[in-house]
Amino acid sequence: MKRIAILGSTGSIGQSALAVVDAYPDRLQVVGLAAGENADLLAAQLARYRPRIAAMASGAALDRLKQNGAPGVVVAATGREGLAAVASHPDADLVLCASSGTDGLEAVLAAIEHGKTVALANKEVLVVAGGIVMEAARRRGVAILPVDSEHNAIHQCLHARPAAELKRIILTASGGPFRGRSASELEHASPEAALKHPTWRMGRKITIDSATLMNKGLEVIEAHWLFGARADQIDVVIHPQSVVHSMIELVDGSIIAQLGATDMRLPIQYAFSYPERWPAALPSLDLTRAGALTFDAPDTDAFPCLRLAYRALDAERSLPVVLNAANEVAVARFLEGRLGFTSIALVIERTMDAHVPAEVATLAEVRSVDAWARDYALEAARGVELKV
Protein backbone atom coordinates (compact mmCIF):
# COMPACT_ATOMS: atom_id res chain seq x y z
CA MET A 1 0.00 0.00 0.00
CA LYS A 2 1.51 3.33 -1.09
CA ARG A 3 0.32 6.30 0.98
CA ILE A 4 -0.18 9.45 -1.04
CA ALA A 5 -0.46 13.14 -0.20
CA ILE A 6 -1.84 15.38 -2.95
CA LEU A 7 -1.10 19.10 -3.09
CA GLY A 8 -3.70 20.69 -5.36
CA SER A 9 -6.32 17.96 -5.07
CA THR A 10 -9.21 20.00 -6.48
CA GLY A 11 -7.36 21.01 -9.65
CA SER A 12 -7.28 19.16 -12.96
CA ILE A 13 -4.23 17.02 -12.06
CA GLY A 14 -5.45 16.47 -8.50
CA GLN A 15 -8.78 15.12 -9.70
CA SER A 16 -7.06 12.81 -12.20
CA ALA A 17 -4.79 11.60 -9.39
CA LEU A 18 -7.82 10.71 -7.28
CA ALA A 19 -9.26 8.82 -10.26
CA VAL A 20 -6.03 6.77 -10.28
CA VAL A 21 -6.45 6.14 -6.54
CA ASP A 22 -10.03 4.99 -7.26
CA ALA A 23 -8.70 2.47 -9.82
CA TYR A 24 -6.22 0.90 -7.35
CA PRO A 25 -7.96 0.94 -3.93
CA ASP A 26 -5.79 -1.93 -2.66
CA ARG A 27 -2.52 -0.30 -3.72
CA LEU A 28 -3.02 3.42 -3.02
CA GLN A 29 -4.28 5.27 0.02
CA VAL A 30 -4.83 9.02 0.37
CA VAL A 31 -3.32 10.36 3.61
CA GLY A 32 -3.23 14.08 2.86
CA LEU A 33 -5.07 16.57 0.64
CA ALA A 34 -4.40 20.26 0.08
CA ALA A 35 -6.46 22.58 -2.11
CA GLY A 36 -6.65 26.25 -3.01
CA GLU A 37 -10.04 27.93 -2.66
CA ASN A 38 -12.53 25.21 -3.68
CA ALA A 39 -13.81 24.31 -0.20
CA ASP A 40 -16.91 22.47 -1.45
CA LEU A 41 -14.94 20.03 -3.57
CA LEU A 42 -12.27 19.50 -0.90
CA ALA A 43 -15.04 18.79 1.66
CA ALA A 44 -16.44 16.12 -0.67
CA GLN A 45 -12.94 14.65 -1.16
CA LEU A 46 -12.34 14.55 2.60
CA ALA A 47 -15.63 12.72 3.15
CA ARG A 48 -14.70 10.19 0.52
CA TYR A 49 -10.98 9.58 1.08
CA ARG A 50 -10.75 10.31 4.85
CA PRO A 51 -7.13 11.52 4.79
CA ARG A 52 -5.25 12.21 8.04
CA ILE A 53 -4.59 15.86 7.18
CA ALA A 54 -5.99 18.61 4.95
CA ALA A 55 -5.13 22.20 4.12
CA MET A 56 -6.46 25.13 2.10
CA ALA A 57 -4.86 28.25 0.69
CA SER A 58 -6.73 30.94 2.65
CA GLY A 59 -8.47 31.42 5.99
CA ALA A 60 -11.73 32.19 4.22
CA ALA A 61 -11.58 28.90 2.32
CA LEU A 62 -10.72 27.07 5.53
CA ASP A 63 -13.78 28.59 7.21
CA ARG A 64 -16.04 27.37 4.39
CA LEU A 65 -14.43 23.93 4.66
CA LYS A 66 -15.10 23.81 8.40
CA GLN A 67 -18.75 24.74 7.80
CA ASN A 68 -18.99 21.76 5.45
CA GLY A 69 -17.53 19.60 8.21
CA ALA A 70 -14.60 17.21 7.91
CA PRO A 71 -14.91 14.75 10.76
CA GLY A 72 -11.72 13.03 11.88
CA VAL A 73 -9.48 15.03 9.56
CA VAL A 74 -6.83 17.31 11.05
CA VAL A 75 -7.13 20.60 9.23
CA ALA A 76 -3.71 22.18 9.01
CA ALA A 77 -2.70 25.79 8.72
CA THR A 78 -3.38 27.75 5.55
CA GLY A 79 -1.11 28.91 2.75
CA ARG A 80 2.42 27.61 2.27
CA GLU A 81 2.58 26.31 5.84
CA GLY A 82 -0.53 24.24 5.19
CA LEU A 83 0.95 22.75 2.01
CA ALA A 84 4.21 21.97 3.84
CA ALA A 85 2.33 20.32 6.72
CA VAL A 86 0.47 18.03 4.32
CA ALA A 87 3.67 17.31 2.35
CA SER A 88 5.63 16.31 5.44
CA HIS A 89 2.95 14.30 7.23
CA PRO A 90 4.62 11.22 8.74
CA ASP A 91 2.13 8.82 7.11
CA ALA A 92 2.85 9.92 3.51
CA ASP A 93 5.23 7.86 1.32
CA LEU A 94 4.78 9.92 -1.84
CA VAL A 95 3.78 13.57 -2.32
CA LEU A 96 2.15 14.64 -5.58
CA CYS A 97 2.81 18.33 -6.06
CA ALA A 98 0.08 19.66 -8.35
CA SER A 99 -0.45 23.01 -6.67
CA SER A 100 -0.32 26.04 -8.92
CA GLY A 101 2.62 28.38 -9.53
CA THR A 102 5.39 28.52 -6.96
CA ASP A 103 3.08 28.00 -3.95
CA GLY A 104 4.39 24.46 -3.46
CA LEU A 105 8.09 25.36 -3.20
CA GLU A 106 8.42 25.06 0.59
CA ALA A 107 6.17 21.99 0.55
CA VAL A 108 8.34 20.17 -2.00
CA LEU A 109 11.46 20.91 0.03
CA ALA A 110 9.68 19.77 3.21
CA ALA A 111 8.67 16.51 1.50
CA ILE A 112 12.28 15.95 0.39
CA GLU A 113 13.66 16.72 3.88
CA HIS A 114 11.26 14.12 5.30
CA GLY A 115 12.51 11.52 2.79
CA LYS A 116 9.33 11.26 0.73
CA THR A 117 9.23 10.48 -2.98
CA VAL A 118 8.04 13.56 -4.88
CA ALA A 119 5.82 13.24 -7.95
CA LEU A 120 6.09 16.64 -9.58
CA ALA A 121 3.22 17.89 -11.75
CA ASN A 122 4.15 21.51 -11.22
CA LYS A 123 6.86 22.83 -13.50
CA GLU A 124 7.28 26.24 -11.82
CA VAL A 125 8.95 24.63 -8.79
CA LEU A 126 11.88 23.45 -10.92
CA VAL A 127 11.89 26.52 -13.17
CA VAL A 128 12.49 28.91 -10.26
CA ALA A 129 14.34 26.62 -7.83
CA GLY A 130 15.62 23.66 -9.82
CA GLY A 131 19.14 23.86 -8.40
CA ILE A 132 17.91 24.02 -4.80
CA VAL A 133 15.33 21.26 -5.19
CA MET A 134 17.50 18.80 -7.13
CA GLU A 135 20.45 19.30 -4.77
CA ALA A 136 18.20 18.67 -1.75
CA ALA A 137 16.79 15.53 -3.40
CA ARG A 138 20.27 14.29 -4.24
CA ARG A 139 21.51 14.87 -0.68
CA ARG A 140 18.51 13.12 0.86
CA GLY A 141 18.46 10.31 -1.76
CA VAL A 142 14.88 11.14 -2.74
CA ALA A 143 13.46 10.50 -6.23
CA ILE A 144 11.77 13.35 -8.12
CA LEU A 145 9.33 11.68 -10.54
CA PRO A 146 8.02 13.90 -13.33
CA VAL A 147 4.28 13.84 -13.97
CA ASP A 148 4.20 16.29 -16.87
CA SER A 149 3.45 14.02 -19.81
CA GLU A 150 6.61 15.12 -21.66
CA HIS A 151 9.02 14.60 -18.77
CA ASN A 152 7.24 11.47 -17.73
CA ALA A 153 7.82 10.22 -21.29
CA ILE A 154 11.51 11.07 -21.10
CA HIS A 155 11.78 9.34 -17.74
CA GLN A 156 10.24 6.23 -19.33
CA CYS A 157 12.55 6.45 -22.37
CA LEU A 158 15.70 6.89 -20.29
CA HIS A 159 14.69 3.93 -18.10
CA ALA A 160 17.87 2.94 -16.28
CA ARG A 161 20.15 4.08 -19.11
CA PRO A 162 23.45 5.70 -18.09
CA ALA A 163 23.43 9.51 -18.38
CA ALA A 164 26.44 9.34 -20.71
CA GLU A 165 24.26 7.63 -23.36
CA LEU A 166 21.95 10.66 -23.67
CA LYS A 167 22.71 12.93 -26.60
CA ARG A 168 19.54 15.00 -26.89
CA ILE A 169 16.06 15.42 -25.42
CA ILE A 170 13.29 16.07 -27.93
CA LEU A 171 10.24 17.61 -26.28
CA THR A 172 7.08 17.43 -28.35
CA ALA A 173 4.63 20.34 -28.37
CA SER A 174 1.12 20.25 -29.76
CA GLY A 175 1.65 23.81 -30.95
CA GLY A 176 -1.55 24.87 -29.18
CA PRO A 177 -4.61 26.48 -30.76
CA PHE A 178 -2.59 29.07 -32.71
CA ARG A 179 -0.18 26.71 -34.46
CA GLY A 180 0.67 27.99 -37.94
CA ARG A 181 -0.42 31.57 -37.24
CA SER A 182 1.93 34.49 -37.77
CA ALA A 183 2.81 37.11 -35.14
CA SER A 184 0.57 39.70 -36.80
CA GLU A 185 -2.38 37.30 -36.94
CA LEU A 186 -2.01 36.72 -33.20
CA GLU A 187 -2.13 40.35 -32.16
CA HIS A 188 -5.88 40.29 -31.50
CA ALA A 189 -6.21 36.68 -30.35
CA SER A 190 -8.79 36.48 -27.54
CA PRO A 191 -8.54 34.58 -24.23
CA GLU A 192 -11.50 32.52 -25.42
CA ALA A 193 -9.63 31.38 -28.56
CA ALA A 194 -6.41 30.79 -26.62
CA LEU A 195 -8.22 28.55 -24.13
CA LYS A 196 -9.30 26.12 -26.87
CA HIS A 197 -6.47 23.59 -26.66
CA PRO A 198 -6.65 21.05 -29.49
CA THR A 199 -5.52 17.88 -27.67
CA TRP A 200 -5.10 18.30 -23.90
CA ARG A 201 -7.68 19.42 -21.32
CA MET A 202 -5.88 21.38 -18.64
CA GLY A 203 -6.20 24.37 -16.30
CA ARG A 204 -6.53 27.94 -17.66
CA LYS A 205 -3.01 29.21 -16.94
CA ILE A 206 -1.25 26.22 -18.50
CA THR A 207 -3.59 26.31 -21.50
CA ILE A 208 -2.57 29.91 -22.23
CA ASP A 209 1.07 28.90 -21.73
CA SER A 210 0.47 26.24 -24.39
CA ALA A 211 -0.90 28.86 -26.77
CA THR A 212 2.19 31.08 -26.34
CA LEU A 213 4.59 28.05 -26.24
CA MET A 214 5.81 29.35 -22.87
CA ASN A 215 4.62 26.04 -21.47
CA LYS A 216 7.20 24.32 -23.68
CA GLY A 217 9.80 26.88 -22.65
CA LEU A 218 9.17 26.11 -18.97
CA GLU A 219 9.43 22.42 -19.84
CA VAL A 220 12.83 22.99 -21.46
CA ILE A 221 14.06 24.47 -18.17
CA GLU A 222 12.38 21.67 -16.19
CA ALA A 223 14.07 19.05 -18.42
CA HIS A 224 17.42 20.69 -17.79
CA TRP A 225 17.03 20.16 -14.04
CA LEU A 226 15.38 16.75 -14.11
CA PHE A 227 17.75 15.09 -16.56
CA GLY A 228 20.93 17.14 -16.29
CA ALA A 229 20.80 18.16 -19.95
CA ARG A 230 22.27 21.41 -21.25
CA ALA A 231 20.06 23.90 -23.14
CA ASP A 232 21.73 22.91 -26.44
CA GLN A 233 20.80 19.27 -25.75
CA ILE A 234 17.08 20.05 -25.49
CA ASP A 235 15.07 20.46 -28.70
CA VAL A 236 11.40 21.19 -29.23
CA VAL A 237 9.37 19.82 -32.15
CA ILE A 238 5.79 20.71 -32.99
CA HIS A 239 3.74 17.52 -33.05
CA PRO A 240 0.06 18.57 -33.27
CA GLN A 241 -1.30 15.06 -32.71
CA SER A 242 0.17 14.78 -29.16
CA VAL A 243 0.60 11.02 -29.69
CA VAL A 244 4.37 11.00 -29.15
CA HIS A 245 4.76 12.48 -25.67
CA SER A 246 8.48 13.07 -26.02
CA MET A 247 11.71 11.43 -27.16
CA ILE A 248 15.38 11.02 -26.39
CA GLU A 249 18.23 10.63 -28.84
CA LEU A 250 21.08 8.42 -27.67
CA VAL A 251 24.74 8.86 -28.58
CA ASP A 252 24.55 6.33 -31.42
CA GLY A 253 21.71 8.22 -33.13
CA SER A 254 18.97 5.87 -31.95
CA ILE A 255 15.78 7.67 -30.87
CA ILE A 256 13.55 6.25 -28.12
CA ALA A 257 10.03 7.68 -27.94
CA GLN A 258 7.10 7.24 -25.59
CA LEU A 259 3.60 7.28 -27.08
CA GLY A 260 0.19 7.02 -25.46
CA ALA A 261 -3.30 8.36 -25.11
CA THR A 262 -3.61 12.03 -24.07
CA ASP A 263 -4.87 11.19 -20.60
CA MET A 264 -3.06 12.54 -17.54
CA ARG A 265 -4.09 9.49 -15.53
CA LEU A 266 -1.35 7.54 -17.35
CA PRO A 267 1.69 9.60 -16.25
CA ILE A 268 0.18 10.04 -12.76
CA GLN A 269 -0.30 6.29 -12.46
CA TYR A 270 3.25 5.68 -13.67
CA ALA A 271 4.60 8.03 -10.98
CA PHE A 272 2.44 6.36 -8.32
CA SER A 273 3.40 2.82 -9.37
CA TYR A 274 7.10 3.48 -10.07
CA PRO A 275 9.38 1.51 -10.05
CA GLU A 276 6.58 -0.96 -10.78
CA ARG A 277 4.13 -0.61 -13.66
CA TRP A 278 0.51 -1.52 -13.10
CA PRO A 279 -1.97 -2.75 -15.72
CA ALA A 280 -4.17 0.19 -16.65
CA ALA A 281 -7.92 -0.03 -17.02
CA LEU A 282 -7.70 2.59 -19.78
CA PRO A 283 -8.04 1.67 -23.48
CA SER A 284 -4.83 1.21 -25.50
CA LEU A 285 -3.69 3.70 -28.08
CA ASP A 286 -4.57 2.33 -31.54
CA LEU A 287 -1.95 3.76 -33.88
CA THR A 288 -3.87 2.63 -36.96
CA ARG A 289 -6.61 5.11 -35.93
CA ALA A 290 -4.29 7.89 -34.83
CA GLY A 291 -3.85 9.40 -38.30
CA ALA A 292 -0.55 10.71 -39.66
CA LEU A 293 2.01 11.93 -37.15
CA THR A 294 3.91 15.10 -38.08
CA PHE A 295 6.94 16.86 -36.61
CA ASP A 296 7.90 20.46 -37.42
CA ALA A 297 10.34 23.01 -36.12
CA PRO A 298 8.72 25.64 -33.87
CA ASP A 299 8.20 29.18 -35.17
CA THR A 300 9.93 31.34 -32.57
CA ASP A 301 9.04 34.54 -34.44
CA ALA A 302 5.34 33.97 -33.91
CA PHE A 303 5.95 32.37 -30.50
CA PRO A 304 8.85 34.31 -28.93
CA CYS A 305 8.15 32.94 -25.43
CA LEU A 306 10.02 29.75 -26.33
CA ARG A 307 13.07 31.79 -27.32
CA LEU A 308 12.84 33.76 -24.06
CA ALA A 309 12.85 30.53 -22.05
CA TYR A 310 16.05 29.33 -23.76
CA ARG A 311 17.57 32.75 -23.06
CA ALA A 312 16.63 32.42 -19.38
CA LEU A 313 18.12 28.94 -19.14
CA ASP A 314 21.33 30.02 -20.86
CA ALA A 315 21.75 33.00 -18.52
CA GLU A 316 22.47 33.25 -14.82
CA ARG A 317 20.26 31.36 -12.42
CA SER A 318 17.85 34.17 -11.47
CA LEU A 319 16.59 34.84 -15.00
CA PRO A 320 14.22 31.81 -15.07
CA VAL A 321 12.61 33.18 -11.89
CA VAL A 322 12.02 36.47 -13.69
CA LEU A 323 10.71 34.67 -16.79
CA ASN A 324 8.23 32.70 -14.73
CA ALA A 325 7.00 35.57 -12.55
CA ALA A 326 6.57 37.96 -15.49
CA ASN A 327 4.75 35.24 -17.41
CA GLU A 328 2.32 34.61 -14.55
CA VAL A 329 1.53 38.33 -14.30
CA ALA A 330 1.15 38.75 -18.07
CA VAL A 331 -1.05 35.65 -18.48
CA ALA A 332 -3.32 36.77 -15.61
CA ARG A 333 -3.70 40.17 -17.30
CA PHE A 334 -4.40 38.51 -20.64
CA LEU A 335 -7.09 36.30 -19.09
CA GLU A 336 -8.65 39.46 -17.59
CA GLY A 337 -8.82 40.90 -21.10
CA ARG A 338 -6.44 43.70 -20.18
CA LEU A 339 -3.43 42.60 -22.24
CA GLY A 340 -3.11 41.57 -25.88
CA PHE A 341 -1.86 38.06 -26.70
CA THR A 342 1.39 39.21 -28.29
CA SER A 343 1.99 41.59 -25.38
CA ILE A 344 2.51 38.60 -23.07
CA ALA A 345 5.96 37.99 -24.57
CA LEU A 346 6.61 41.73 -24.69
CA VAL A 347 5.99 42.13 -20.95
CA ILE A 348 8.22 39.15 -20.15
CA GLU A 349 11.02 40.34 -22.40
CA ARG A 350 10.99 43.87 -20.96
CA THR A 351 11.10 42.47 -17.43
CA MET A 352 13.98 40.17 -18.34
CA ASP A 353 15.84 43.05 -20.01
CA ALA A 354 15.49 45.14 -16.85
CA HIS A 355 16.76 42.41 -14.56
CA VAL A 356 20.36 42.18 -13.33
CA PRO A 357 20.96 38.40 -13.08
CA ALA A 358 22.08 37.14 -9.67
CA GLU A 359 22.67 33.85 -7.88
CA VAL A 360 19.60 32.35 -6.20
CA ALA A 361 20.80 29.81 -3.65
CA THR A 362 17.92 30.03 -1.16
CA LEU A 363 14.13 30.16 -1.36
CA ALA A 364 14.28 33.64 0.20
CA GLU A 365 16.40 34.82 -2.72
CA VAL A 366 13.99 33.17 -5.15
CA ARG A 367 11.03 34.88 -3.48
CA SER A 368 12.82 38.22 -3.56
CA VAL A 369 13.61 38.06 -7.29
CA ASP A 370 10.09 36.77 -7.92
CA ALA A 371 8.53 39.73 -6.08
CA TRP A 372 10.67 42.24 -7.95
CA ALA A 373 9.76 40.65 -11.29
CA ARG A 374 6.04 40.65 -10.52
CA ASP A 375 6.10 44.35 -9.64
CA TYR A 376 8.10 45.21 -12.72
CA ALA A 377 5.93 43.06 -15.01
CA LEU A 378 2.76 44.65 -13.64
CA GLU A 379 4.15 48.08 -14.51
CA ALA A 380 5.27 46.87 -17.91
CA ALA A 381 1.80 45.38 -18.51
CA ARG A 382 0.15 48.70 -17.62
CA GLY A 383 2.32 50.37 -20.27
CA VAL A 384 0.87 48.20 -23.05
CA GLU A 385 -2.60 47.70 -21.54
CA LEU A 386 -5.59 47.30 -23.84
CA LYS A 387 -8.37 49.88 -23.69
CA VAL A 388 -11.25 48.06 -21.96
Candidate ranges 46-54, 151-159, 178-186, 225-233; the one touching its own copies (CB under 8 A): 151-159
Bridge partners, 54 (sequence order) = 33, 75
CA Rg, the chain, in Å? 20
- Please identify, using beta-carbon distances, which residue of 156 and 318 lies nearer to its own copies: 156
Burial class from Cβ neighbours inside 10 Å (0-12, 13-18, 19+) for residue 199 reads middle
Residue 70's SS3 state is coil
C-alpha span between 117 and 111 (Å, rounded): 8
Q: Is 69 left (phi over 0), alpha (psi -120 to 50) or beta?
A: left
Residues 152-171 binding its own copies (CB under 8 A) are 156-157, 159-161, 165, 167-168, 170
Tell me: does residue 282 bind its own copies (CB under 8 A). Answer: yes
Q: Between 214 and 253, how does the x/- string for binding to its own copies read (CB under 8 A)?
A: -----------------------x------x--x-xxxxx
Tell me: does residue 297 bind its own copies (CB under 8 A). Answer: yes
Burial class from Cβ neighbours inside 10 Å (0-12, 13-18, 19+) for residue 232 reads exposed
For residue 51, say if its preceding peptide bond is cis, omega within 30 degrees of 0.
no
- Which of 180, 187, 228, 254 forms a contact with its own copies (CB under 8 A)? 254
Who's near 373: CB < 8 A, 6+ residues apart? 321, 322, 325, 326, 329, 351, 355
Residues in the chain: 388
- Please identify, using beta-carbon distances, which residue of 237 and 321 lies nearer to its own copies: 237
Tell me: does residue 296 bind its own copies (CB under 8 A). Answer: yes
Smallest distance from its own copies to CB 250, Å: 6
Residue 276's SS3 state is coil
Tell me: does residue 202 bind its own copies (CB under 8 A). Answer: no
* Binding footprint of its own copies, residue count (CB under 8 A): 47
Tell me: does residue 255 bind its own copies (CB under 8 A). Answer: yes
- Please identify, using beta-carbon distances, which residue of 274 and 376 lies nearer to its own copies: 274
Q: What is the DSSP letter of 100?
A: S
Please give the residue ranges that form the binding site for its own copies (CB under 8 A): 156-157, 159-161, 165, 167-168, 170, 237, 244, 247, 249-261, 266, 269-270, 273, 277-280, 282-285, 287-288, 290-297
